[in-house]
């Protein structure tokens, strides 16, 4: 079986403000974790970037800095492109200008989106943890 088929079976929905409750937030979050894990980029969202999903320390030191930079940009772009519809609302709510972030930090972007969701939907935040 083609490995790319896995990505078709778990699509990455666009996070949208089509409804007041961001009803696809859980599906979006699940899709982000799946896609980042598939590409071995999920470490960029974890507390320790060198940990895999099982808590094992990985050997990112084997990658050169340019490769780590490209992987970081890929993780950032996956999150950004799937959440682009809510970015203006995130910026407005949190008084942040995400388009001016020269670091393209996927963890920072991820945390700001989670913070935005928590502010607008605090009751749902109890059901949705920040790392799963």
8 confidence band (pLDDT: 50, 70, 90): confident
pLDDT of residue 121: 79
Domain boundary assignment for the chain: 22-125
- Let me know: does 87 contact 79? Beta carbons within 8 Å: no
Nearest-5° Cα angle at 79, 111 to 5: 135
State the residue for tokens 């979050």.
29
**Phi and psi torsions of 126, nearest 5°:** -65, -30
Whether 87 has a pLDDT exceeding 80, the answer reads yes
Could you tell me where the DSSP H helices lie in the chain? Answer: 5-9, 25-38, 65-83, 87-94, 106-120, 122-125
Tens of pLDDT along 35-55? 999 999 999 999 765 555 565
pLDDT of residue 125: 56
CA distances from 36 to 33, 89, 94, 109, 125 (A): 5, 24, 25, 14, 22
> Mean pLDDT over all residues of the chain?
83
pLDDT of residue 70: 95
- Let me know: does 34 contact 45? Beta carbons within 8 Å: no
Tens of pLDDT along 101-127? 889 999 999 999 999 999 987 876 555
**Phi and psi torsions of 57, nearest 5°:** -80, 130
pTM for this model (two decimals):
0.80
pLDDT of residue 15: 87
**Structure tokens given for 12:** 């990455």
Does 19 or 118 have the greater pLDDT score? 118
């Amino acid at each position: 079986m083609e490995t790319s088929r896995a990505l078709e079976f778990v699509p990455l929905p666009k996070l949208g403000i089509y409804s007041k409750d961001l009803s696809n937030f859980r599906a979006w979050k699940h899709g982000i974790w799946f896609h980042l894990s598939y590409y071995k980029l999920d470490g960029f969202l974890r507390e320790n970037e060198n940990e895999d999903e099982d808590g094992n320390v990985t050997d990112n030191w084997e990658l050169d800095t340019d490769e780590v930079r490209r992987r970081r940009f890929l993780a950032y772009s996956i999150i950004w492109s799937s959440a682009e519809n809510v970015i203006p609302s995130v910026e407005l709510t949190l008084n942040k200008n995400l388009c001016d972030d020269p670091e393209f930090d996927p963890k920072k972007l991820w945390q700001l989106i989670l913070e935005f969701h928590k502010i607008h939907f605090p009751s749902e935040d109890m059901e949705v943890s920040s790392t799963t």
